[in-house]
Amino acid sequence: MKKSVLWASLTMFGGIIGAGIFGVPFVFSRAGVLVGLTYIVFLGAAAVAINVYYAVVAVETPGRHRLAGYARKIMGKKASAAVAVVSMVEFFGALLVYVILGGNFLSVIFGGAASLWSLVFLAVAALVLLLPLKKSEWVDHLFTVALIVAVAAIAAMLIPQIKTANIVSVDWKNWFAPYGVLFFALGGSSVIPEMIEVSRRDKRSAVQAVAIGTIAAAVLIALFGVIIVGVCGAGTTEDAIAGLTLYFGRPIVILGSVFGLAAVLTQFVVIGSNIRDEFVYDFKKRRIVGWALAVGVPLAAFFFGARDFVSIIGFLGATLGAAVGIIIIYMGRKVMEENEKYALLRRFAVPLMMLFLAGLLAEIISVLL
């Protein structure tokens, strides 16, 4: 494997693994592990498709952009404005989730009020966002490797305690529960522009990195859900980690919290950098403006009392995540129309958009009912 593909795959992997993974065991426990794994297979394939379409858009479109910039080039100014609003709301919602979880994990590790630690987490993340791009990428890769090591350590301790009965049970009344959370957990399209640069804008390397990074992340998310539910069963908590105290005591919970802290900080930097750079490249604003919004908006939402991270990620994934997926697939289809070598890939565009639209409508109906 070429070095550029390896680093690009790591960038893709790190861009996916974040706060969403901690909501997966809870929805697995509600619907059943087998139902959750079925979702992982299909939504994992959908995530690969979204990221491949976005990679094609990024490679085939001249210049450096973010989602709204590509929409302006491909769909026009009016569509670009709508895309910018959708993607920004999704990103800011994600940043809010990271702030909430970051505070929770720091509270477990050091004690004290989670709300105060959330402010500390946001302050540290804000400083990282001020670093030059190369430094931020180095920090991103460092945390990603730390995640892999931490998950391996946790898995080694937990696997012997798995109970088969916790895995085989299914509750069909909650069959839709995993959809939005898993859509959110598998989302990583915001890192595609950075991944393209790491792969040196080589089309073959970019597609390979997308596939490797996305599939590896889906496997890790699935394993994490199976292991936590296999051990905790109906006692699985919303943040996945706290429930382990009853089985393994404080040390394993602290280790899990360190893993969680690294995950959410990595993802905050990825999403925050995307927001910051979108204002630089697509809206021609100063870097500090994008930075201030990436830090200020989640801070304001946090003070207004939005704290239920599972509900937030479920809604974000099923609605705004799906909307972004539809936009990316549509743009990819438009770009591919000009090149016959994408003819086979282009055929999947309409079915994928219909699937995401159906999920979006189902989520809205479930909330209203």
Burial class (CB in 10 A: 0-12, 13-18, 19+), 162: middle
3-class secondary structure, 241: coil
For residue 195, what are the CA distances in angstroms to 59, 192, 211, 319? 11, 5, 12, 25
Residue 244 near residue 252, CB atoms below 8 Å: yes
**Dist CA 14 CA 270 (whole Å):** 8
**Dist CA 258 CA 105 (whole Å):** 7
What residue spans define the domains of the chain?
3-368
Burial class (CB in 10 A: 0-12, 13-18, 19+), 249: exposed
* Interior angle at CA 217, CA 214 and CA 218, nearest 5: 85
pTM of the model: 0.87
How many helices (H) and strands (E) would you count in the chain?
A: 18, 0
Amino acid identity at 8 = A
**Dist CA 173 CA 57 (whole Å):** 39
Amino acid identity at 348 = F
Given the structure tokens 């450096």, which residue do they identify?
64
pLDDT, tens digit only, all 369 positions of the chain:
677 788 888 889 988 887 889 899 999 999 999 999 999 999 999 999 999 999 999 888 887 788 888 998 899 888 888 888 898 888 899 899 999 999 989 998 898 888 899 999 999 999 988 876 554 556 666 767 777 777 787 788 888 989 999 999 899 999 999 999 999 999 988 888 888 877 766 778 888 899 999 999 999 999 999 999 999 998 888 888 877 877 777 887 887 788 788 878 877 887 888 788 777 776 777 888 888 999 999 999 998 877 788 888 999 999 999 999 999 999 999 988 877 788 888 889 999 999 999 999 998 888 777
Task: Give, for 338, the enclosing helix (H) or strand (E).
Answer: none
For residue 184, give the DSSP letter: H
User: In the structure encoding, which two tokens stand for residue 289, read together?
Assistant: 């403006």
Q: Give per-residue burial for 113-137: e unless 16+ CB within 10 Å, then b.
A: ebeebbbebbeebbebbeeeeeebb
CATH of 3-368 among 3.50.50.60, 1.20.1740.10, 3.40.109.10, 2.60.40.10: 1.20.1740.10
For residue 309, what are the CA distances in angstroms to 108, 184, 242, 297? 17, 11, 14, 16
